[in-house]
Amino acid sequence: MDVDCEFVGESEQPCNWTMKYRSVIDFGKAFLLEDAQGKRRGLDIIVGHHSGAAHEYLYPEEVIGNIAVIKVEIDSLTGKQSGY
């Protein structure tokens, strides 16, 4: 995943462009969560991370039935940045 991406040194020749970025690369196993309880728990983690408020949220049953939630068990994780 890349974040904080920004072109720097733009010129008329795209081959001379470069970027500032921060990135994370992980390796592991991904599992598609099939059960409603697992999906809700995964969504709670994602929503809590982005909202800053970790608790159980309410999701309509039709959302739970129609959404795919993927759990990733990380084996290794690396990160790098350029231009910061």
- Burial class (CB within 10 angstroms; exposed 0-12, middle 13-18, buried 19+) of 38: middle
What is the per-residue pLDDT across 46-77, written as a single tens digit (0 to 9) for each?
A: 999 888 887 888 999 999 999 999 999 999 99
User: Looking at residue 58, what is its pLDDT?
Assistant: 92
Going by pLDDT thresholds of 50, 70 and 90, the confidence category of residue 11 is confident
Instruction: Give the domain range for residue 73.
Output: 2-82
User: Looking at residue 55, what is its pLDDT?
Assistant: 82
pTM of the predicted model as reported, rounded to 2 decimal places:
0.66
- Burial class (CB within 10 angstroms; exposed 0-12, middle 13-18, buried 19+) of 39: buried
Higher local confidence (pLDDT), 17 or 45: 45
- Domains held by the chain: number: 1
CATH of the domain at 61: 2.30.110.10
